[in-house]
Amino acid sequence: MKMFKLVSASVLIAFSAAACSSETTTDTPAVSPSSPSVTSNIPKEVNLKIGLPGSYDITSKKIIDGFQAKYPNIKLQIEEAPWADFTTKIVTNIAGNNAPDIWFQENAVILGYGTRGVAENLEPYIKRDLKTEDYIESLLSAKTPDGKIYGIPHGVNPNALVYNKKIFQQNNVPFPTDNWTFQDMIDAAKKLTKDTDGDGKTDIYGFQTASSIAQGWIPWIKSTGGSALDAGMTKATFSDPKTVEGLTRWADTILKDKISPTREMQTNQNYFQSEKTAMTFLQYSGQVNLNKNKPDLDWDVVKVPIGFDGKRFVPTVVNQWLIYSKAKPEAKEAAWTFLKYYLSDEAQTFLSESGASLPVKKTALVALEKSSSKPANKQAFTKGVEEAGGTLDENPSWNQWRAAATPILNDILDGKKAPTDGAKEIQQKVQSVLDENK
């Protein structure tokens, strides 16, 4: 299940035009940070409009029902719609100052809302009411370089390396471990890539290389110490030799080592579910469909391997709840009360049960690790993200610069452009987008 669909560039451009005309909002909550309780500042009854892109397929209804039972004085108005419909409509709603009081979208989009004055800065609320040590670092994944925090995670979706046990056993290759390196993964994939019927064509691949960002090129460029953007998220770094090395190793899995099916071959077939590949990178939410569609498949996961640079990086996709900056003060407080409940043990347990994403509360992660559902090694996800989780070099113009880079990245993976030449071209295009969005 791919739960994090992306807003199109045209939608973002439309949003930018609408949101830039919005009046500036204060970064201060409706009550002072020293106030002892949020709920003490909520009227006896208050209305709260919650937006749910993807409806209850993404947000567990148990969470909504649990909140309503706990806070009957907060009257909920739920606006649910398919993800694409919601993300298109929200642009119009923001322009007409008719947005929900609280909703969620991708981290990069939320950062854009923050810079345009649409999302409330939650840093004072967090400082007032949360013990951040009770949560993994991903709690603050919407934090900007200047310290503002525009979102609270709806959930986190880290990567792990998934493997087919039967294919490993049939070839007498030891199972992967959490201590594997990228080189270990490549070496094993070479042993597992087989022409099983002798027709000169590969039937089983050792690894499936993705063209996407989270399961594709980001883990490879991070494995060599590279990146897409610098630490300040204002400069493109695709032409950095370390990034070029990562792109080269990524493409080599198909073009040189031939341990992966091509991008074109992957169009109409899920190689891992079809048991045609031994390994690939799996986003946590992907285990829902894997267990549903292939309940008898014998598989498990290990942490994303340690990179060529000796460091581990776990790509992590995050959706963020935001509070609308133009909501009424009492609605903001009610929205924050909802977020506090969302971060509670009860709601985080409901989130864990849904399988849609990992919770950020440490106690909920510990409970999840003890559950009996596949994968057995859930710590590959939970400890992986805790140890080395990182976002996808996201900034407010993430969707635009990624759209500019993707066609060239595809050409690199297809062997139509050399990584060095492609990286230079991407560098120019991405930096142009960054400069336009300063």
Report pLDDT digits (tens) over 69-127. 999 999 999 999 999 999 999 999 999 999 999 999 999 999 999 999 999 999 999 99
Tokens of 253: 């899995």
pLDDT of residue 41: 59
Tokens of 269: 């077939």
pLDDT of residue 349: 94
CB-based contact 167:278 (threshold 8 Å): yes
- Residue 132: is it exposed, middle or buried by C-beta count within 10 angstroms (0-12/13-18/19+)? exposed
Report pLDDT digits (tens) over 310-324. 999 999 999 999 999
pTM assigned to the model: 0.84
Give the per-residue SS3 of 58-74. CCCHHHHHHHHHHCCCE
Angle ∠(248,249,253) on CA atoms, nearest 5: 115
Sequence-distant (≥ 6) Cβ neighbours of residue 64 within 8 angstroms: 50, 56, 76, 78
| 38: number of Cβ within 10 Å | 21
Pairing of strands 74-81, 46-53: parallel
pLDDT of residue 4: 35
Tokens of 7: 């807003």
* Residue ranges of the chain whose pLDDT lies below 70: 1-43
Cα 181 to Cα 158: distance, rounded to the nearest angstrom: 18
Residue with token string 């292939």? 294
pLDDT of residue 93: 96
| 190: number of Cβ within 10 Å | 13
Tokens of 133: 């040590």
pLDDT of residue 297: 97
Sequence-distant (≥ 6) Cβ neighbours of residue 107 within 8 angstroms: 141, 142, 151, 317, 318, 319, 320, 391, 394
Query: What is the enclosing helix (H) or strand (E) of 247?
Result: helix 241-255
Tally of CA atoms within 13 A in the half-sphere of 322 that contains its CB? 34
